[in-house]
Amino acid sequence: MSRKHKISAFIPVQNVEKIIQGCLDSIQWVDEIFIVDAFSTDKTVEICKRDPKVKLVQHEYENSGAQRYWGMPKVTHEWVFIIDSDERCNLELQKEIEKILSQENIQYDGYQVYIKTKFLGKLQNHEYHLGHRGMRLVRKQNYKDYELLNVHSKLRIKNRSFITNKKAFLINEPITDFTKHIHKVARYSNWAAKDMFEKGERAKWYHFVLRPFYKFFHHYIIHRGFLDGVRGLILSTFAALSVFFKYYALFHMQNKNND
């Protein structure tokens, strides 16, 4: 199948020497790999530059959304495949994207793709039932549609579709170390609380009880996290904890502000 449109992969990175090669290996089918490095101090840049498809620039890190907003206009090709350093593109997703790029006139400006979590060496079934998607295949000019937040910035593309093949997905392996997992939950919770605080939201006592409980119930029961055994229990519990930490951080901010 011949492609009518060329594509750039876009990856924001910082100190990911242990995982970046796997990401690069999974996207060798693209025409360009555009990397925005946040001044890594390990061997990340050295590893990336070994790949002849890589074009690397550096920019001070603010958050993931800001890196994409700054870097996406600089890629070479019209179509951009957004992928993180802890993700891998499986073969079925590659085929689906190439099928889209083989069309003379592509109807949509962006496509959501499935993302499945890999935890302790195993893909999680509840992520499949949850149907978690991300806007990852987009036209370059749609960087303007980012809703920039401290955490989980979103691309709000109106003329969008999604890749329906559930065997086509990104494999996300964000958790490889217990201590790093704890730190990541705390960091993301703090960022989310900043977004909430800036919008004028305030933590109430019932947020600490109801919201974490609902989050656990949502992941573990409604979306069948129990199918993943102990792994599903751990991930669902951490999802609930992240909500609790988010409101704790918000509560801390609003009370510190009142001092």
175-224, pLDDT tens digit by residue? 888 898 899 889 889 989 999 999 999 999 999 999 999 999 998 998 88
| Alpha carbon distance 150, 143 (integer Å) | 16
| Contact present, 140 and 77 (Cβ < 8 Å) | yes
Where do the domains of the chain lie, and which CATH numbers do they carry?
7-172 (3.90.550.10), 178-258 (no CATH)
Q: What is the pLDDT of residues 8-61, one digit of tens each?
A: 999 999 999 999 999 999 999 999 999 999 999 999 999 999 999 999 999 999
- The DSSP line for 54-67 is EEEEE---S-HHHH
pTM, full prediction = 0.84
Cα distances from 217 to residues 112, 201, 239, 240, 241, in angstroms, run 26, 24, 10, 9, 12
Give bridge partners of residue 146 from the DSSP assignment.
155
